[in-house]
Amino acid sequence: MDKKQLEILTNIIGGVESGGQVYGQRRYEAYAGKRANSENEKTCTLGWAQNYGNEARKLCQMILKEDPGAFRGADTAGIESRLSQDWEAIGWNPSATEKAALIAIITTPSGKKCQDELFEQLMETYIKQAVAYGVNTVPAQMMWCEIEHLGGLKPTKRIFGRAAKPYTPDSIYASLILDQQDTSNNNQVGDEMYQPRHQCCVKWIKQYVGEEKESAGMTENELRQMVANNMRGWIGLKRSDRSHMVIINLYNSCLPLARGYRVTATDDYCATGASAAGIKAGLTDIIPRECSCGYMIQLFQKMGRWVENDAYIPDTGDFVFYYWKDGTNYATTDCTSWPDHVGIVLEVNKNTREILIGECNMGGGLVGTRKIKINGRYIRGYGIPDYASKATGKGNSSNSGTNSGTTSSGSASGGINKTPKWVGEITQDNVPVKTWAGSSTSIKSWPVLGTGNLVDICDTIKDNSGHDWYYILIAKKVYGFVDSSYIRQAGSNSGNSSSEVLTYKVGTVYTLQVELKVRTGAGTGCPTKSYSQLTLDGQRHDKDHDGCLDAGTQVTCQAIKNVGSDIWILVPSGWIAAYYDGNVYVK
């Protein structure tokens, strides 16, 4: 935890301890007598950080050592003689005169300085204990410090011991409020009397620190697997013995609640559980929180992450929505009804064309699994969280690495690849687009393609006879399967040239086929450069001074970046589109 983060923690704990739940507010003169806050308090509490008992005594000892003159000048009640005693053991209850002297001592300049220094010492101890316990992110460490400062080490370990991992402020808060189910006493760290302070801590940590997650450094596939594993970890929980409440409480702890509704123990909880898996992973920015399947679909749609494509092959971590009244003619009709149920994909097996789904609220309110055919009956559609946008680890593999089985994609785990590899051209009219390799059923959203149509080729799948089919992406939005006999490499004269993949190499000199804009980064969303921002050699190849490199300019490739199915290369003057929207601009 760096200096800035420690300052934030100081403002948080000061706000909840003595600042009236106002962030950054600290009352150096704060004093609480014996049993003022709890029957368990055997002596007084001093200062803005509410140092209790022997910590309060230590504070006074520090002040005396820091500035003996100031201490003794403020000590009008013989407090110095008390410093050798164990305040908690003797149950010292300061008199009104002693109280006034204590307040005078701790509000001297050295008193205020020592209050801050003691707080830093305590936080350093707490953080070391948190790290030793396996709490590695700053937001979770801040929650640890707040809880230990309130109740001590033993209760803190109890709270973290049952908190969902990876630790986040929300998952820790969900564990805290479980204390309220224990009615044996009302003075545990998570009981109702302390709930407002914990809510403030969660709010301020999110506001001033952010949601640093233990998912940092994970690849896309690891993030997908983490969400799936969260659901796996709940298998066997059920409503009948209330073991499912760990899911309900986790969902309810993440504020604000969707549409303001607090889920109860008797509610259907399939969407609640799916949301909770995202909450537990700390991925609520890409996994919508909802307790209604229908409203969850609407949120995925707003994110642009909803798929109803008949040939979409789901990945681990995708969300599957069902409609139980789907007719037997599901393959030829489009179901748009309000969904009944949702689960999370745990495994995909392309060999058997089956997906294993983890679901909450199955028969009898159980958390369990279901196997279903890929795009089989009852599937309403898929919510596909943008895991790639959160992946920061090396070896990211978009939409492929977690499925089982084997394909020609070369994926180590054999998943069907959804990232475009090369551009294909349809060689005749009325070429059907199927829901699977060799299937007799065409997809409803784009049933046929015609001569000259360009598509992105993502993978090669063999049908039952061993013949190759291409898994394609049409118009950057619709997936399907097309017989490889009807596709050739775009730009080639004839035949199937799937091996002739369009590639660029760093260090190679290429020639611009057309005049091209130069950008500050890869992608059309990055700003274009002006003439003055080009290199001197680039300016010599921009005759009209519009910031574009002229056709025929030779450039050296310094770096390569794929943006969807487009290819951008870095040249000395900036980024240019080498291959864009099916067109080759640099050769």
Give the tens place of pLDDT for each residue, 545-570.
999 999 999 999 888 887 777 788 99
- Residue 411, pLDDT > 80, answer no
Between residues 321 and 179, the one the model is more confident about: 321
At residue 216, the pLDDT reads 56
* Range(s) of the chain covered by CATH 2.30.30.40: 422-489
At residue 2, the pLDDT reads 76
Average pLDDT over residues 38-63: 91
What is the chain's length? 587
Say if residues 334 and 317 touch (Cβ distance below 8 Å). no
Say if residues 313 and 418 touch (Cβ distance below 8 Å). yes
Average pLDDT over residues 270-293: 92
Say if residues 245 and 421 touch (Cβ distance below 8 Å). no
Give the span between the Cα atoms of 443 and 84, in whole angstroms: 83
% of the chain at pLDDT higher than 70: 90
pLDDT digits 0-9 by tens, 107-165: 999 999 999 999 999 999 999 999 999 888 899 999 999 999 988 999 999 999 988 87
At residue 253, the pLDDT reads 80
Say if residues 38 and 155 touch (Cβ distance below 8 Å). no
Q: Which of 248-252, 474-478, 502-506 has the lowest mean pLDDT?
A: 502-506
Angle formed at CA 191 by CA 186 and CA 194, multiple of 5 degrees: 115
At residue 215, the pLDDT reads 56
- Residue 404, pLDDT > 60, answer no
- Residue 398, pLDDT > 50, answer no
Q: Which of 140-144, 167-171, 395-399 has the lowest mean pLDDT?
A: 395-399
Report DSSP letters for 96-134, one per residue: HHHHHHHHHHHTSHHHHHHHHHHHHHHHHHHHHHHHHHT
Give the span between the Cα atoms of 46 and 49, in whole angstroms: 8
The CATH topology of domain 509-584 is SH3 type barrels. (2.30.30)
Phi, psi of 8 (to 5 degrees): -65, -45
Say if residues 212 and 1 touch (Cβ distance below 8 Å). no
Residue 391 region by backbone torsions, left for phi larger than 0, else alpha for psi between -120 and 50, else beta? beta
pLDDT digits 0-9 by tens, 294-330: 999 999 999 888 988 777 888 899 999 998 887 666 5
% of the chain at pLDDT higher than 90: 44
Between residues 254 and 547, the one the model is more confident about: 547
At residue 420, the pLDDT reads 85
Q: Which of 345-359, 481-495, 535-549 has the lowest mean pLDDT?
A: 481-495
Contacts 24+ apart (CB under 8 A), 497-503: 498/422, 498/424, 498/457, 498/460, 498/470, 500/422, 501/421, 501/422, 502/422, 502/423, 502/567, 502/579, 502/584
Between residues 209 and 350, the one the model is more confident about: 209
SS (H, E, C) 516-562: EECECCCCCCCCECCHHHCCHHHHHCCCCCCCEECCCCEEECCEEEE
Give the span between the Cα atoms of 560 and 526, in whole angstroms: 15
At residue 405, the pLDDT reads 32
Between residues 375 and 332, the one the model is more confident about: 375
What are the start-end ranges of the H helices in 267-328? 270-281, 293-303
Q: Which of 233-242, 377-386, 443-452, 533-542 has the lowest mean pLDDT?
A: 443-452
**What class has domain 422-489?**
mainly beta
